A and B are shown apart, each in its own frame.
Chain A
Amino acid sequence: MKSVLTIAANTFRDAIRQKLILLVALIALVLVISSKYFLRLDLGHEQLRFVFDFGSGAIGFFGSIIAVVSTCQLFHSEIDNKTIVTLLSKPVGIGGFAFGKLFGESGVLALFCAIIAAATCAMLFYTEASFGESAQRLSAGLTINYSGVVACCFIQWIKLCCIAAVASAVCSFSRSLLFSVVISFMCLAISLMGAVTLGLGGEKSNFTNFVSTIFPDFQIFSAAEAFAFEPVLPEAFFGAAGYGIVYAAALCLLTAWSFSKREF
């Protein structure tokens, strides 16, 4: 376990130095902070919900990019630079390597989610404060549940960890960074399409059940978005968190198994 944490800490340091990740995170942060400006474009939505959706969307969209690109980059840089050979010559199992890498990546995603969540809460507070006693808020009829916002961002983080786990599983058999990134984004697209289909009222079929078993079922995570303005439902929260943790752990085991079949 100690070696796993050592690799995770090193991976975290490696990841936060990647300029692309910093750029994506910065864009997400700027967008969330400027959500107040984008309100001018909104012609019908409630302002608070708009700001929250902006923050939640930033975590989902930019977080997915970071989860896929960063995970693929971190695994492939180890393989391509052959640092993995030096690493595995120490008493570190391939499972320890895979889990360490994913833990490190999860740390980066947690930091990203925490920053965007903090910015979203700040913007929600600012937007709410700017209402004063105006009737706009009353007509919207919304009350912000800040702990719910945090819970929602936590579930979003779990979702991003699942995406990172999928990317790591792809990296375990892929020979090139580009292939890994493309395949991982394809998996992400399939999951998103499944969630959108069911979200629009599509019926579950054997095929959609199969897809949601193999790929992360985003429909489970999307239930957490209601937490921002409603009480947090324990069954929905723990259901989504439990599903995500089990899915990510299973994918990580698959990654370790796949890597163990590989020769360096």
Chain B
Amino acid sequence: MPSVIKIENLRKYFRYGIRGIGIQAVDGISLEVEEGEVFGLLGPNGAGKSTTIKIILGLTRPNSGKCLLFGKEMARQTRQNIGYLPESPYFYKFLTGFELVVFYAKLCGMSNDSAKNAAMKALSLVGLDDAANRQIGLYSKGMVQRAGLAQAIVHNPKLLILDEPASGLDPIGASDMADIILRLKSEGKTVLLCSHMMSEVEKLCSRVAILSKGKIAAIGKLDDMLTISRTSRIDIKNADASQLAAIRKYAESLGVEVSKAEHAKVPLDDFFRKVISK
């Protein structure tokens, strides 16, 4: 699989105040996001996730290291292939949802007609077609979030960078958002997902990187990370207590239905806390 994002030894520090005291926001991060995968970027507040995303988008310059998108250095035209949903997005309140998405579609070079068609399609995908002609100022937080996703996907980008897409959404909205992301993945899009919602990450991501204090604390396949070594779990249906006791003794000979057998996993939340507390 070719890399859509390739980051090598990325470093970024910010200076502030008259004395120029520095803060190391990103400290030697290296990672690759492959085509067609949903990659999770996790970490507590201040871990360097947003800075990393801004460097990927070319909004912030790194002090050292390399960031390649589709195998090339970031250029203005590269953004044609990127859709970005910022954390807690804020949009022009005087525009309707439809006008907002058309506006961003036009910025991507689409003609007026194709921008309108693409905007309706994107709004429909995120479930905002009914509220398309309502002003953004009248949208709920969840609707603004959906409008944000619509503007991110309106120009049919290959790479989606989603910063807290489920932020402010209720559980149903968050579940809908996860379904949309899975649908986008099935269309072959690569997704870089930045989230604090572990259940969302567990459902969507194949690989994750956990950042802590600007460094990668853990990276790899989610299954590998969450697997407890030398421990297995058997899910058994239709067995009462006595059968369970028997199964424990004669698991392979009693003939009860063993529906699922896999490595036992630690909940992502626990794993996350463990990694961060190191």
Residues of A within 8 A of B (CB): 2-3, 6-7, 10, 13-14, 17, 81-83, 85-93, 263-264
Contact = CB atoms under 8 A, between A and B. Distances in A.
B151 A86 contact: yes
Interface string B151-184: 1000100000100000000000000000000000
Given A10-B103, A89-B59, A81 B90 contact: yes
Interface of B: 54, 57-61, 76-77, 79-80, 82, 84, 86, 89-92, 94-95, 103-104, 106-109, 148, 151, 155, 161
Given A88-B59, A263-B59, A263-B61, A2 B94 contact: no
B84 A17 contact: no
Given A89-B82, A90-B108, A10 B92 contact: yes
Contacts of A86: 84, 86, 89, 91, 104, 148, 151
A94 to B, nearest CB: 10
Given A3-B106, A88-B57, A91-B76, 15 more contacts: A2-B106, A3-B107, A6-B107, A81-B90, A82-B89, A82-B90, A85-B57, A85-B59, A87-B107, A89-B59, A89-B86, A89-B161, A90-B107, A263-B54, A263-B60
Nearest to B115: A6
B107 A92 contact: yes
A85 B94 CA distance: 19
A25 B92 CA distance: 23
B114 to A, nearest CB: 13
**What are the 3 tightest A-B residue pairs by CB atom distance, in nearest-first order?**
A89-B84, A90-B107, A81-B90
Contacts of B103: 6, 10
Contacts of B91: 83, 86
